[in-house]
């Protein structure tokens, strides 16, 4: 059985490693039209929702609580956003550890088990860590367990909901034998590991 709590902690470590090597916050990323700063702002935004939703808040209730903090994110510099990430990381991890996988959570697309939300957020951290590292000319490994779990999640989740509004079309050529699981997962979300990182 996949230990998503441990994998979320690993993904958070990988994301922290990506931030430690980032200096150009205006750099283009593999994430469509977002800069490195915008990717980081998105991740911090997503993390801020976690404690309130896991505590049983509805999307509307948590949105009301976060109205000011989320508005301020849009104005923050890259280094300020790094500080925000580091401030929210521990409360988010504690919220995951304190919530059962079967607990129903209110999300933007309806109610879902916390375990699914956890896998989704772990995937988000890992992929966006790679986006930020690649924007700085670095190829950031995830580790075998995280790679395989993220690939399995992407295959299952995108098979049920291709989400064309969230991802570019899959990049062909990354599903054969010998292809790293990380590259296959990235290609399924429209990212081309042949083009990134750019030196």
Domain-embedded: residue 82: yes
pLDDT of residue 161: 58
Residue 169 belongs to what domain range?
4-21+30-188
Number of domains composing the chain? 1
pLDDT for 128 beyond 90: yes
Domain-embedded: residue 88: yes
Domain-embedded: residue 196: no
pLDDT of residue 70: 95
Domain-embedded: residue 155: yes
Residue at token pair 């929702």: 49
Over residues 7-30, mean pLDDT: 97
pLDDT of residue 167: 79
Domain-embedded: residue 94: yes
Side-chain-side CA neighbours of 98 within 13 Å: the count stands at 13
Residue range 180-196, pLDDT digits in tens: 999 999 999 999 999 99
For residues 105 and 15, give the distance between their C-alpha atoms in angstroms, rounded to a whole number.
24
Q: What is the pTM of this model?
A: 0.94
Per the CB < 8 A criterion, the answer to whether 162 and 132 are in contact is no
Domain-embedded: residue 101: yes
Domain-embedded: residue 195: no
Give CA angle at 9 (142, 148), nearest 5°. Answer: 40
For residues 80 and 37, give the distance between their C-alpha atoms in angstroms, rounded to a whole number.
10
pLDDT for 174 beyond 60: yes
Where residue 145 sits, what CATH number does that domain have?
1.20.120.450
- Helices 114-135 and 36-54 cross at an angle (nearest 10°) of 160
Domain-embedded: residue 159: yes
- The CB density around residue 175, as the number of other CB atoms within 10 Å, is 13
For residues 125 and 43, give the distance between their C-alpha atoms in angstroms, rounded to a whole number.
7
pLDDT for 160 beyond 70: no
- The CB density around residue 51, as the number of other CB atoms within 10 Å, is 19
């Amino acid at each position: 059985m996949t230990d998503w709590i441990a994998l979320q902690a690993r993904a958070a470590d990988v994301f922290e490693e990506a931030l430690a090597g980032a200096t150009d916050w205006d750099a283009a990323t593999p994430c469509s039209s977002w800069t490195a700063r915008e990717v980081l702002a998105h991740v911090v935004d997503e993390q801020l929702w976690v404690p309130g939703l896991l505590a049983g808040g509805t999307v509307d209730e948590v949105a009301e609580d976060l109205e000011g903090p989320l508005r301020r994110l849009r104005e923050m510099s890259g280094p300020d956003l790094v500080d925000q990430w580091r401030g929210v990381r521990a409360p988010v991890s504690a919220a995951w550890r304190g919530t059962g996988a079967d607990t129903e959570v209110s999300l933007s697309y309806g109610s879902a088990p916390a375990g699914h939300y956890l896998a989704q957020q772990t995937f988000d951290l890992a992929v966006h860590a790679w986006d930020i590292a690649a924007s700085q000319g670095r190829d950031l490994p995830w580790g075998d367990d995280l790679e395989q779990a993220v690939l399995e999640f992407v295959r299952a989740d995108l098979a049920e909901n291709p989400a064309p509004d969230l991802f570019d079309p899959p990049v062909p050529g990354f599903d054969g034998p010998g292809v790293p699981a990380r590259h296959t997962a990235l290609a399924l979300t429209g990212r081309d590991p042949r083009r990134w990182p750019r030196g």
